[in-house]
Structure 1
Amino acid sequence: MDFLNDMALFVEVVKAKGFRGASEVTGIPNSTLSRRISLLEKAIGLRLLHRTTRKVELTEAGQIYFERCKRIVEEARLAHEQLGEMVAQPSGVLRVSLPVDFTVTYLAPLLTEFAGLYPGITFDLDLTPRRVDLVSEPFDVAIRMGESESSQLIARPLASLTSYLYASPHYLEVSGVPDSPGDLEWHQCLSIQKAGTWELNDGVRTISVAVGGRFMVNSVGLIRRLAALDQGIVLMPEEIVANELGNGQLCRVMPEWKGAPMTVYAVTETRLLPAKTQLFIDFLRARLG
């Protein structure tokens, strides 16, 4: 594909009416320009320029070639400028897979802000607990929480969220306030699994606690709601229970203890992203980070 670059240099030499003028425009030495044009002529098999000490003139073949090349180079320049405009003000449909509760509770204002910055973008948002297939389904990006994806996908970390323990004031009044991680074994603990282990640390110690409860739920939103309805203790990032904390339905339990960090990722199929997708990822990284 080197001949395409040489084609563009040929156009510049003709427009500048010589190698010296073209050198000033392109920043390429005269000798290099002359050698590149000679290689182009050799590849074509025809002389394109008559060279003299004072100027260059087009041959008959060179005139025909110049007229064709000029249009091609101009089209390439316009295409490059159009892509630059897309980066500055991108447009099109942005298809995003998002976690339900984190999006409704925390990302909704950020989505609104991003939409205001880029009015040319429209949004196709899929809020579902399932992990969409970025290879076979038409999504530009998926926002996911938890463990990183397989090496077949590109996962870009956006933020690290810290989980804390929360319960309703009424639940704590009836069941008592736990003083240490070991006390959780005697409480109703709400998690995705009916029985499991919570890893907690206070900055010095890390303790694994076996927890369980009456409810087995596969929805973070329902777990949060059950906690607000006095059904037990949850271990969640503050960003997800922000509304319940604000209205007093939930309060922090054992505030010195916290769970393992939960990473939020932007996952794509490829590193080569359109402007709308790259801007969206950069925006979320700036706001969440």
Structure 2
Amino acid sequence: MELLNHMAYFVEVVKARSFRGAAEAIGMPNSTLSRKINELEKFIGLRLLHRTTRKIELTEAGQIYYERSRRIIDEARLAHEQLGSLLVQPQGILRISLPADFAVVILAPIIKAFSDNYPGITFDFDLTPRNVDLVSEPYDLAVRMGNLPDSGIIARKLGSLTRSLYASPDYLVQNGSPRNPNDLKDHECICMRQDKSGEWHLQHKEDRIFVKTSGRFQMNSIGMMRRFTSMGAGIALLPDKIVGEDIANNKLIRVLPDWKGEAVTIYALTETRLVPAKTQVFIKFMRKNLSGE
């Protein structure tokens, strides 16, 4: 990269036919520009310019080097311009691994809006909870929630989901409403498999409490938890974003409204930090819509 920069400085000097003119065009001190051309000549091992007090002239080697360098710099500039346009309207197939319930309930409208903004991108979704191998399998990225396994995969935070306690009106009529978090031990609690030993971490302002829960149902599907809860199977810790319709239809009621569960973090996983434009703009769009950035 340093050699390419020095080459670009040399081209500007030749075009301007003076160090002063080139320095003004580049926005660099004249002495610095002169030093960089000296460094280039030392690196090549040949003099490229004849310098006088009034003007500069190309040596024979300088003429050859200028013709080659000018083409290289023009190609580099064109490559940057083309990549810039690609970032504005990226194209190609975007292959994404997504957790099914989360994708259907929350991500689907966001991805639809993204597709409207970027008509050059087509999509291939794999809705699966398994940890796909981003190195050996043909995915551009995976979207995952919660704690991540320790690996060499690059994780970018997209946002987080707040969680609250919910139950159906029928369940609360039959079993009563808990008055404080400790009452949850006497209720049927529907838990995610990821909840360590059925332990819920609840928070109210600065107060935090760990509640040991028990229940007959444990699963790894947010959609299934929401469905079971709305049918009166128990109390569940659910993301607030997915229950709006059930609350409006009086299928779910907020329980212990002063308390919230730990937020669930959403990540975009990629094999490397150097991702193509289609992946860059997707991650940026998801982050904006999931975190409000």
TM-score above 0.5, yes or no:
yes
Per the alignment, in what secondary structure is the counterpart of residue 271 of structure 1? coil
Deviations 1:125-145 (A, max 9, x none): 222111223333333333222
Structure-2 change in CA distance of 1:108 and 1:50 (3 Å): same
1:78-227 to 2 correspondences below 5 Å: 78-150=78-150, 152-193=152-193, 196-203=198-205, 205-227=207-229
Per mean C-alpha deviation after superposition, the further-off stretch among 211-220 and 63-72 is 211-220
Q: Measure, in 2, the Cα distance between the counterparts of 1:36 and 1:185.
A: 73
Query: Equivalent of 1:274, from 269, 273, 276?
Result: 276
Q: Measure, in 2, the Cα distance between the counterparts of 1:104 and 1:170.
A: 27
- 1:71 to partner: Cα distance: 0.8
Corresponding residue for residue 50 of structure 2: 50
Structure-2 change in CA distance of 1:13 and 1:247 (3 Å): same
Q: Measure, in 2, the Cα distance between the counterparts of 1:205 and 1:14.
A: 70
Q: Measure, in 1, the Cα distance between the counterparts of 2:209 and 2:61.
A: 81
Give 5+ residue unaligned stretches, structure 1.
none
- 1:151 to partner: Cα distance: 6.3
Query: What code does the residue aligned with 1:81 have?
Result: E
Deviations 1:188-221 (A, max 9, x none): 2211349622233333644433322333433222
4+ residue segments displaced more than 4 Å: none
Per the alignment, in what secondary structure is the counterpart of residue 255 of structure 1? coil
Aligned length: 289
Query: What code does the residue aligned with 1:9 have?
Result: Y
Q: Measure, in 1, the Cα distance between the counterparts of 2:175 and 2:101.
A: 27
Per the alignment, in what secondary structure is the counterpart of residue 90 of structure 2? coil
Query: Equivalent of 2:256, from 216, 230, 254?
Result: 254
Deviations 1:91-122 (A, max 9, x none): 22333222222221112111112222222222
1:278-289 to 2 correspondences below 5 Å: 278-289=280-291
Structure-2 change in CA distance of 1:242 and 1:103 (3 Å): farther
Deviations 1:157-189 (A, max 9, x none): 333322211122222233333333333333322
Structure-2 change in CA distance of 1:183 and 1:39 (3 Å): closer
Structure-2 change in CA distance of 1:256 and 1:23 (3 Å): closer
Q: Measure, in 2, the Cα distance between the counterparts of 1:230 and 1:101.
A: 20
Q: Measure, in 2, the Cα distance between the counterparts of 1:169 and 1:226.
A: 13
Query: What code does the residue aligned with 2:60 have?
Result: E
Structure-2 change in CA distance of 1:41 and 1:180 (3 Å): closer
Q: Measure, in 1, the Cα distance between the counterparts of 2:20 and 2:209.
A: 75
C-alpha contact (below 8 Å) 1:105/1:243 kept by paired residues? no
Q: Percent identity?
A: 59
Structure-2 change in CA distance of 1:42 and 1:160 (3 Å): closer
Query: What code does the residue aligned with 2:231 have?
Result: L
Structure-2 change in CA distance of 1:28 and 1:34 (3 Å): same
Q: Measure, in 1, the Cα distance between the counterparts of 2:52 and 2:225.
A: 84
Structure-2 change in CA distance of 1:211 and 1:47 (3 Å): closer
Q: CA RMSD in A?
A: 2.6
- 1:148 to partner: Cα distance: 4.5
- 1:149 to partner: Cα distance: 4.8
Give 5+ residue unaligned stretches, structure 2.
none
Q: Measure, in 2, the Cα distance between the counterparts of 1:79 and 1:86.
A: 10
- 1:74 to partner: Cα distance: 0.5
